[in-house]
Chain A
Amino acid sequence: GNSVTQMEGPVTLSEEAFLTINCTYTATGYPSLFWYVQYPGEGLQLLLKATKADDKGSNKGFEATYRKETTSFHLEKGSVQVSDSAVYFCALSDNTGGFKTIFGAGTRLFVKA
């Protein structure tokens, strides 16, 4: 079945450091891939998405590229801020899989000033 694996946290960085959160997936079809973010005390919200191979999703300085050859969708940001501290979830949704959305376990990011 479909699955998502993302790097374990927590990840602790200093402000302006480079961020990478790894995400790999297993899917039988051609899934859409997402990164959702959960800021402290808030609900999950979509950060970015990509719907086909080689697409790059981007938002708020974050980027992720849909790599079908490596089944990956790693999240990157060139210079993190304290306000980026949150839990990040990688997810996939496959129309052929009954519309279930599969989420990774989440990676908590702490950014220090």
Chain B
Amino acid sequence: GAGVSQSPSNKVTEKGKDVELRCDPISGHTALYWYRQRLGQGLEFLIYFQGNSAPDKSGLPSDRFSAERTGESVSTLTIQRTQQEDSAVYLCASSLYLQGANEQYFGPGTRLTVT
């Protein structure tokens, strides 16, 4: 069946521009997560959604980052006024329920390069 998809797969943008990253979770998955993975480093948790609600936004690196989700479907991560330190792979994952023991299914990621 269809897995988690993300678009675009690669994005090169100039410093100061805004970018929007998209995640399509597995159908029926109520929980959705965003992570950032800098080159050679582990995953940095950004935000999670239960349905279209994001109870904890404290993982977002700055107020330039925002995310929203439409129902239990598509989510977008928006980075305003991009900086070079935003360059990373942005990963999206979904799981059936928002429960610690649930497996997360990851998308292929969006590689963002800010020049």
Interface residues of A (CB under 8 A from B): 31-32, 34, 36, 42-46, 49, 51, 89, 91, 93-95, 98-106
Contacts and interface: CB of A to CB of B under 8 A. Distances in A.
A43 B106 contact: yes
Contacts of B108: 42-43
Given A31-B100, A43-B91, A99-B100, 17 more contacts: A32-B100, A42-B108, A43-B106, A45-B106, A49-B103, A51-B100, A51-B101, A89-B43, A93-B101, A98-B55, A98-B56, A99-B31, A99-B98, A100-B56, A103-B43, A103-B45, A106-B42
Contacts, number: 58
Interface string B31-42: 101010000011
B25 interface: no
A46 B48 contact: no
A46 B45 contact: no
Interface in B15-63: 31, 33, 35, 41-43, 45, 48, 50, 55-56, 59
A24 B33 CA distance: 23
A35 B43 CA distance: 13
Interface of B is mostly: loop
B48 A100 contact: yes
Nearest to B107: A43
Contact of B104 (A42, A94, A101, A106): A101
A44 B41 CA distance: 14
B108 to A, nearest CB: 5
Contacts of B43: 44, 89, 91, 103
B30 to A, nearest CB: 12
Contacts of B100: 31-32, 51, 93-95, 99
Contacts of B31: 99
Interface string B95-111: 00011110111111100
26 contacts: A32-B101, A34-B103, A42-B108, A43-B4, A43-B106, A43-B107, A44-B91, A46-B103, A49-B101, A51-B100, A51-B101, A89-B42, A89-B43, A91-B43, A95-B100, A98-B55, A98-B56, A99-B31, A99-B48, A99-B98, A99-B100, A100-B48, A100-B56, A102-B45, A103-B45, A104-B42
